[in-house]
Amino acid sequence: MKIIVDAMGGDNAPRSNVEGALEAVRELGVEVALVGRGEEILSILRDMGMNEPPPGLEIVHTSEVVTMEDNPATAFKEKKDSSLTVGLGMVRDGKGDAFVSAGSTGALLSAATLITKRIRGIRRAAMAPKVPTPKGGAILIDAGATAECTPEYLLQFAFMGSYYAETVLGKPQPAVGLLNIGAEEGKGTDLQREAYALLKKAEDEGRIHFAGNVEAREAILGAVDVIVADGYSGNIFLKTVEGTALFMSREMKKMFKQNPLTKLSAVLVSGGLKKFKKLLDSREVGGTALIGISKPVIKAHGSSDGYAIRNAIDQAAKFAGAGIIESITDNVEYMRLPTGRNEAGEEKI
């Protein structure tokens, strides 16, 4: 399996991407193509004592870089020889199995949608990060790709998130919950109420395991395996979880540094603290999948180091080998609403 990596994307690029790619080649048994400015990549390899890429690592030279200052909607068109544009083109053309980038989220979403295209029948792609819960995590979909949604979008997010959770969480029938301000059926705005009806119908037909509405508090406690939300609400939920985790981590450090007794206590519970820190560490997951795109695409965090990039590559390889895109394609007819009929009496897509 070959994973294409945007070597120039991210705050620590290209070094973090080179380091992560090397770790992935050594530890995961995958091939990696680093797409970016070849001389900069080679310079980093020389710093590591390598005069050329080791077996399993390929360098694809490009002259341009999409930066955070570029217009995310048009950058990939204006910079056709960028690592982002060329890398996604390679995946589209079958020269790689998945794509990983720690660059601009907006640029990646726009480029993936227009270069590799959405799965036919899918209205919008969605970001689906794994958030920590006491029960092994949950998939949040959408986390910011589409701020304003229709009930049909949420129906599609539920299906796609369910298929993804089966692989990521290892649960054959993941419980799907609709993020809302209360658990009762009539809660929320028109969007949530209409989406609820569609999700309940899919549950009745045996397509998904819909567990009803779920409040943010219960969602983070593991009430469901898939949290369905419009991108606006989902992003607020995600950032709140991240902020709370950071707050707790800082306060715990202060607490354990107060005096010699608390420092001793820190030593005694160090094992548990390390496990807790790992649970909240975004580097462990590696990145966020863009679901609904016709090829596997992973968005790594902009501040990713080599370890995070290594895990993003691992996530991309699992995504590519899990058959998730095929599952979505085969079942897309159950996740779209009729939009009228053409002159031949066929439903429009």
The residues facing 297 across adjacent strands are 99
- pTM of the entire predicted model: 0.89
Q: Assess whether pLDDT exceeds 70 at residue 344.
A: no
pLDDT tens digit string along 78-104?
A: 999 999 999 999 999 999 999 999 999
Residues 109 and 91 in one domain: yes
The answer to whether residues 45 and 155 belong to one domain is no
Query: How many Å apart are CA 283 and CA 268, to the nearest integer?
Result: 26
Q: Is residue 51 part of a domain?
A: yes
Confidence of residue 288 (pLDDT cuts 50, 70, 90): very high
In the structure encoding, which two tokens stand for residue 190, read together? 């028109």
Co-location of 215 and 314 in the same domain:
no
Residue 47's Cβ-side half-sphere holds a number of Cα atoms within 13 Å equal to: 10
What is residue 335's DSSP assignment? G
**Is 49 domain-assigned?**
yes
Q: Distance (Å, rounded) from C-alpha 161 to C-alpha 298?
A: 15
CATH number at residue 158: 3.40.718.10
Would you mind telling me the total number of residues written for the chain in this entry? Answer: 349
Q: How far apart are the first and last CA of the chain?
A: 33
295 bridge partner residues: none
Please report where in the chains the tokens 């390390």 appear, as a residue: 274
Tell me the C-alpha to C-alpha distance, in Å, between residue 42 and each of 20, 33, 101, 312: 15, 13, 19, 22
- Please indicate, yes or no, whether residues 111 and 141 belong to a single structural domain of this protein: no
Question: Does residue 79 sit in the same domain as residue 149?
Answer: no
How many other CB atoms sit within 10 Å of the CB of residue 168? Answer: 24
pLDDT tens sequence across 30-48 = 999 999 999 999 999 999 9
Residue 332 DSSP code: G
Q: How many helices (H) and strands (E) does the chain have?
A: 13, 12
**Which conformational region is residue 251 in: left (phi greater than 0), alpha (psi within -120 to 50 degrees), or beta?**
alpha
Structure tokens at 347: 């439903």
Domain around 216: 129-283
Rounded Cα distance, 179 and 8, in Å = 36
pLDDT tens column, 220-236:
999 999 999 999 999 99
